[in-house]
Amino acid sequence: MCDPFCVKKGHFIMSEVRVRFAPSPTGFLHIGGVHTALFNWLFARRQKGVFILRIEDTDQSRSTDESIQAIIDGMKWVGLDWDEGPFRQTERMDLYRSHAMKLFETRHAYWCVCKAEELEARRKEAEAKGLSPRYDGRCRNLGIVDPPKDAALRFRAPQEGQTVIDDLIKGKVVFDNAVLDDVIILRSNGYPTYNFSVVVDDALMGITDVVRGDDHLTNTPRQIPIFAALGFPVPRFGHLPMILGADKTRLSKRHGATSIMAYKDMGYLPDAMVNYLVRLGWSHGDQELFTRQELIEKFSWDHVQKSAAIFNPDKLLWMNAEYIKTSPPGQVAQALVPLLEQAGLGKEVEAVSDEWLAQLVVLVKERAKTLVEMVEWVKPYFGQEAQFDMEAAKKFLTPTVAPLLHKLLARFEAFPSFSKQVWEESFKKLVEEEGVKMSALAQPVRVALTGRTASPGLFEVMEVLGRGRTLFRLRKGLERASTG
């Protein structure tokens, strides 16, 4: 085994793939973040490499511990497990400072005494004149060696030649170095800036493939010269297409929920989220549904789209419905329990078995597109009595149907135990004998059993309810019908 960087013919032949997801903890983990994390994770798992979680919290004013927790919770929920970390950049300050000083010593960096306000004023002025809002290089050749406390350190970017990226997704991208700015690498408060801390960390953590959002593409030519100046090998880069809202602008709150945990609360299954997100920018022929294992086996950069994708909640909803229908019922039931408790059914849930809950899921899984919808579908099956929907009862539990209902009840009561087939036959026979339409009896029974006009098949409902409760509810329904 050689170390992470084996150099061969000037290219890096990696013994092991090492990738990272490096969010900044300034809010909730959003859909876009999960998307990038997912592609990195898939690549790592496919290559049997290492997936690292790194928290980029060098912006003290915006980073919070709650956000870090939100990132961790979100990652865990979608099942993207990391092999190293979470690392926090604020715990690695010495590393950035020492490397920054190394750049200063090698004259790759210089002190800048321009004030932030001045800089902004100059930038605005340039913009007003229609010029590029770049740093004018004022301090570049001042040769400051003994800087005031509030000086910032700038990287002396190359001004000539080109920087070429052989992007994993976009292919060859060329930048003229003339457009490069001398970026600040150490702020006047001593904290490193993003473009510097990423380079130091990506190098020190042995990241072989830097895969991030499209919006970082123009950061890459800024970072490559820093790798070089520090004497580090340059990793491969890959820039993923962005996720846009329906109006083709960057996905944001305006487009609805963007926090991954909001989808958990809305009753989405993590596997459905992952499956939907992976299809945003990646494909494998015509296949839409993938198991996690299939994803790992089939993932490659070859079929990653170059263009941005629009987030389509309709398709996500469809996919969630697919997962609800096809996931193991016990697993769905487990995910449903917290939502049932939230709906105030904690006691009822406690009173039933896991098996019965799974049976309940099977009963309603075809009609619920989310777990939240499923809670509504499942409510009528808890408790002894059915909660009548007023209008439904008024319409179907009328004195007219009472005699019919009475006859049905009598027949059912005669059976010592429940049998779907036997009870259904008996039901149909009665309908035939009475010469009424199926629905004339079915709807009143449905309302009696569930309190509502829409439900799964009558006999499946009875099966879940059991003989005792079925008879009980039928009697209650008859009572209601008789009194009007």
Partner RNA sequence: GUCCCCAUCGUCUAGCCUGGCCUAGGACAUUGCCCUUUCAAGGCAGUAACACGGGUUCAAAUCCCGUUGGGGACACCA
Q: Which residues are known catalytic residues?
A: 253
| Residue 393, both tokens | 């009862």
CB of 16 vs RNA, minimal distance in Å: 25
Sole binder of RNA in the list 93, 119, 204, 372 (CB under 7 A)? 119
Between helices 31-46 and 270-278, what is the axis angle to 10°? 80
| Residue 300, both tokens | 């490659």
Site for RNA contains 159 (CB under 7 A): no
Site for RNA contains 17 (CB under 7 A): no
51-80 binders of RNA (CB under 7 A): 56, 58-59, 62
Stretch that binds RNA, among 72-80, 292-300, 354-362, 453-461 (CB under 7 A): 453-461
79-118 binders of RNA (CB under 7 A): 112, 114-116
Site for RNA contains 144 (CB under 7 A): no
How far apart, in whole angstroms, are the C-alpha atoms of residue 367 and residue 27?
A: 34
Contacts of 128 (CB under 8 A, 6+ apart): none
307-336 binders of RNA (CB under 7 A): 307-310, 312, 314-315, 317-318, 321, 325
Which strand (E) or helix (H) includes residue 12? strand 11-13
Which SS3 state, helix, strand or coil, does residue 299 take?
coil
464-483 binders of RNA (CB under 7 A): none
209-238 binders of RNA (CB under 7 A): 214-219
Residue 27: Cβ within 10 Å count: 17
End-to-end CA, the chain: 83
CB of 396 vs RNA, minimal distance in Å: 10
Name the residue type at position 387.
Q
Choice between 49 and 456, CB closer to RNA: 456
Choice between 88 and 102, CB closer to RNA: 88
377-436 binders of RNA (CB under 7 A): 424
| Residue 440, both tokens | 């004339």
Sole binder of RNA in the list 107, 134, 347, 429 (CB under 7 A)? 134
Cβ–Cβ < 8 Å for 478, 409: yes
- Would you give the binding string for RNA spanning residues 336-355, x where CB under 7 A is met? --------------------
The site for RNA, by CB under 7 A, has a size of 90
Alpha helix (H) ranges present in 133-236?
Answer: 194-204, 220-229
CB of 86 vs RNA, minimal distance in Å: 13
CA neighbours closer than 13 Å in the CB half-sphere of residue 56? 17
425-444 binders of RNA (CB under 7 A): 438-439, 442-443
Q: What share of the chain is helix, strand, coil (3-state, %, to 5)?
A: 50, 15, 35
166-195 binders of RNA (CB under 7 A): 170-171, 173-176, 179, 181, 184, 187-189, 191, 193-195
C-alpha gyration radius of the chain: 32
